[in-house]
Structure 1
């Protein structure tokens, strides 16, 4: 049998492109190479609607952290359902999103380096672009101010407040004047609000610490606002990752006298998982009445299908799925379905089956010694920490409930 040139692809997880544009790729009929990463379309839609509803009912805006997927097609889906904008972590990520039509950004990080600044200057020439970045040091403020002044451009900045032992962020909230004065001394910089990331606060009393941290930030905001330190009408306080967005939203909306736009930045909700973010979401559902009142919940939408490669000894199955294909930093892939080509439909995996080791291209699966598996059988896995599965794929399929890939989304990591 000969293979036509149009069926040869340099990217994994591909089938015949012509067929994708028609009937799609049926995974169970082996119309696509494995391993293949797929997103369940119904779960994606449900997750997007759930978080948008939560944000609206909580009284906050939603700027999902796009670094989770780095997929402009998914950004467009989120924006079309009402997201305020997209937050990102690096200027290359901003450039990728901008080239695909995104216009409103929060760079939830420091803007560092001349080349990155020059790229941003080009983007800011677009009058429809609204851009904000974090600042947390006098040295960077001076650099940014001088650079953008030379370029005759204006940069919106948000003061980032940090915590001891955390990541970036100005540590001494009681002595913020040096940073604020440095910003005021730079005509090219517009102080547009305050930012934070609470996900680095841990411990048994983490929730109380986070609430106290946000209260201090609101006090700082009030102080700066009374002093007339902010520029423009659209002033922002932004925080929240995927584990504490309910607590952050509640804390930011408690004080109605402050005039600001509250923006949360969870990133993993659209994809979700069956690991660390499932655990985090279950905790949110236990403590947030609003989250429960929304109806439904977030659903893991990301799966990776792979072939059984070998059954070399009783109770051990080797699957063609490795570190190059799925996240492994926060738990190994979890087997969910198995299927023998030609059978009626996939079967649920017994709870006793467990991933025990992962290598570059192989996964070791512990199963019952009586398990009926053989090379060529197919297995489906869910994952933990979706960011680190996404960045292993140039293209990810969108599948329906019949396990047919109807389209693909590209990633730009």
Structure 2
């Protein structure tokens, strides 16, 4: 099939020259863009946080699935990239990422073969999670048979949470099941604290991380770990400060290496992760001392398609284009194509309902909107906006897209 127009695209010769000027209508809308200054700032901010925390950073690649952004994070000091599936792992390996954490269970013979081939054919350093004796036995038998060494992290979890061995007191049983196989190296312990909720979530997470540290020390004394400095890896984008501070307060901290795995910080948002970052700043003096908090970098521009009723407009933005699972997009700017005027609207247009290709938006009476106007929205939960785009524009100033980045979901 000959090349067809895709959403968020324009003339390639124009892109390679002066770029696509969104406000001059040189690109198909809706279009998703990130601000270069903001993502660079965010990469630097988290690099500073992990450095002063004494942690290593393995940002979760599932947020963007963009090799270009993996490269940006590594250039800013990321020790590894985290992924959740073998397909995501293959993208990271193809992008020449040297170290990857598969923060999930590796299950299935086809996946075993793919991972074994990657380990044989490339220099990638891989760690994957194991949380059951059945999985340990399956991995051990396969990788020992093909003589490929696999590094694993024993995953622990909490009741009612996600994956992870539930009883820390009996984690030694899982370790023993792994130690039967000479090609399984137990490199440390992994967890995800983001499934812990409630009014006392902070205290629960502190208690959980402290218990993990005590368990890790016990296993270390038993000679379980293959590493001189075993890995303790946790922390999504909401509680990384609590995980880091609790780890550092442990009397065993110097005997382990903390690896943090936040993902959404690079793109950030004006919704759930803005709220989470505000909570971080309210808890952590270390985070406050870094200065200039994380910035929302992602915007979606869309046209006003219809004004069918007073105080209601229809915008060409839908579930195919933007996240809606954790809050609706927020209107930030409006550009009048006729008046050539860009102005802030700060939520004066409110998304009330979102459909596949349309957003139903209420309009405050003082806000005048006509068909053809362009609305800029910020988002909540960047992961579920990024996965709707194969190409995302990068803007440096004046809403001109200078280049695009590819995603591989």
What is the TM-score when the length of structure 1 is the normalising length? 0.96
Pick one of 295, 316, 328 that aligns with 1:332. Answer: 328
Cα shift readout 1:3-58 (whole Å, capped 9, x = no counterpart): xx99x634210001111111110000010000000001111111111110111011
How many residue pairs are counted as aligned between the two chains? 408
Name the structure 2 match of 1:202: 197
Alignment partner of 1:318 is 2:314: yes
Name the structure 2 match of 1:361: 357
Alignment partner of 1:103 is 2:98: yes
Cα shift readout 1:123-177 (whole Å, capped 9, x = no counterpart): 1014631100000000000000001111110100100010000000000111122
Alignment partner of 1:280 is 2:270: no
Which has the higher mean CA deviation after the structures are superposed, 177-186 or 362-371?
A: 362-371
Alignment partner of 1:164 is 2:159: yes
Give 3-state SS (helix, strand or coil) of 2:169's partner.
Answer: helix
Q: How does 1:172-191 map to 2 (within 5 A)?
A: 172-191=167-186
Partners of 2:341 and 2:235 in 1: CA distance: 41
Give 3-state SS (helix, strand or coil) of 1:308's partner.
Answer: strand
| Post-superposition offset of 1:350 | 4.6
User: Do the aligned residues in 1 keep the contact of 2:92 with 2:100 (CA within 8 Å)?
Assistant: no
| Post-superposition offset of 1:369 | 3.3
Name the structure 1 match of 2:54: 59
| Post-superposition offset of 1:116 | 1.1
User: Do the aligned residues in 1 keep the contact of 2:330 with 2:347 (CA within 8 Å)?
Assistant: no
Name the structure 2 match of 1:92: 87
Partners of 1:9 and 1:297 in 2: CA distance: 41
| Post-superposition offset of 1:251 | 1.1
Give 3-state SS (helix, strand or coil) of 1:346's partner.
Answer: strand
Partners of 1:36 and 1:352 in 2: CA distance: 21
Partners of 2:192 and 2:238 in 1: CA distance: 11
User: Do the aligned residues in 2 keep the contact of 1:315 with 1:370 (CA within 8 Å)?
Assistant: no
Pick one of 46, 71, 80 that aligns with 1:76. Answer: 71
Partners of 2:172 and 2:231 in 1: CA distance: 19
Which has the higher mean CA deviation after the structures are superposed, 174-183 or 311-320?
A: 174-183
Partners of 1:363 and 1:267 in 2: CA distance: 28
User: Do the aligned residues in 1 keep the contact of 2:61 with 2:81 (CA within 8 Å)?
Assistant: yes
Pick one of 4, 7, 12 that aligns with 1:12. Answer: 7
Name the structure 1 match of 2:226: 231
Cα shift readout 1:349-387 (whole Å, capped 9, x = no counterpart): 154421100000000110023432111110000010000
User: Do the aligned residues in 2 keep the contact of 1:87 with 1:107 (CA within 8 Å)?
Assistant: yes
Structure 1 gap segments, 5+ residues each: none
Name the structure 1 match of 2:117: 122
Pick one of 135, 138, 147 that aligns with 1:140. Answer: 135
Cα shift readout 1:56-88 (whole Å, capped 9, x = no counterpart): 011101000010000010000000110001001
Give 3-state SS (helix, strand or coil) of 2:187's partner.
Answer: strand
Alignment partner of 1:262 is 2:261: no
User: Do the aligned residues in 1 keep the contact of 2:34 with 2:298 (CA within 8 Å)?
Assistant: yes
Q: How does 1:332-351 map to 2 (within 5 A)?
A: 332-351=328-347
| Post-superposition offset of 1:228 | 0.9
Partners of 1:256 and 1:401 in 2: CA distance: 48
Partners of 1:370 and 1:46 in 2: CA distance: 35
Partners of 1:321 and 1:338 in 2: CA distance: 14
Partners of 1:240 and 1:10 in 2: CA distance: 40
User: Do the aligned residues in 2 keep the contact of 1:11 with 1:394 (CA within 8 Å)?
Assistant: no
Give 3-state SS (helix, strand or coil) of 1:237's partner.
Answer: strand
Name the structure 2 match of 1:29: 24
Give 3-state SS (helix, strand or coil) of 1:365's partner.
Answer: strand
What is the TM-score when the length of structure 2 is the normalising length? 0.97
Partners of 2:67 and 2:134 in 1: CA distance: 33
User: Do the aligned residues in 1 keep the contact of 2:128 with 2:153 (CA within 8 Å)?
Assistant: yes
User: Do the aligned residues in 1 keep the contact of 2:187 with 2:225 (CA within 8 Å)?
Assistant: yes
Pick one of 214, 223, 231 that aligns with 2:209. Answer: 214
Cα shift readout 1:278-335 (whole Å, capped 9, x = no counterpart): 0000011111000000010001000000000001111001000000000000011111
Partners of 1:345 and 1:278 in 2: CA distance: 29
